[in-house]
Amino acid sequence: MPEETVQLNQIVPDFAAEATGKPFRLSDYRGKNLVIYFYPKDNTPGCTAESIDFRDHYAEFRQADTEIVGVSRDSLRSHENFARKFDLPFTLISDPEETLCNRFNVMKTKTRYGKVGRGIERSTFLIDRNGQLVKEWRGVKVPGHIEEILDAARQLNR
């Protein structure tokens, strides 16, 4: 039976996933804000730029009592190499079966170089300390995006 998709202004049901460092469990982040960003593929230009941008603002997110987690369909090994290569201080979730991708409804039909296929639409979600999905960004363009998320995270602490 497929998992229910998450809805804005609703509590995100707990889930566990394979991740860098240690297995990820959403409930471990209760009491903190959480950014979950979905990206198409490790080591591609846009995804690398986005991940580096999150890395470069990581201390500011921590000051806003917010953790960051990245998700793509890449393998755990790919994620570990990607995180090491770019010194990413946050967790990356491996979702090869698209369980989380489907739960957050980020899988889209895309055309790339004339070929049609399914892929992750770059998307970011902000979950508050109570586990409620409070903001979502879909079809994200990387430039300026991190600052917008950081501002939203800071708003949650007011």
Catalytically active residues, by annotation:
47
Token pair listed for 109: 């039909």
3-state secondary structure of 92: strand
Q: Are 94 and 18 in contact (CB under 8 A)?
A: yes
Dist. CA 129–CA 144, nearest whole Å: 24
**C-alpha gyration radius of the chain:** 15
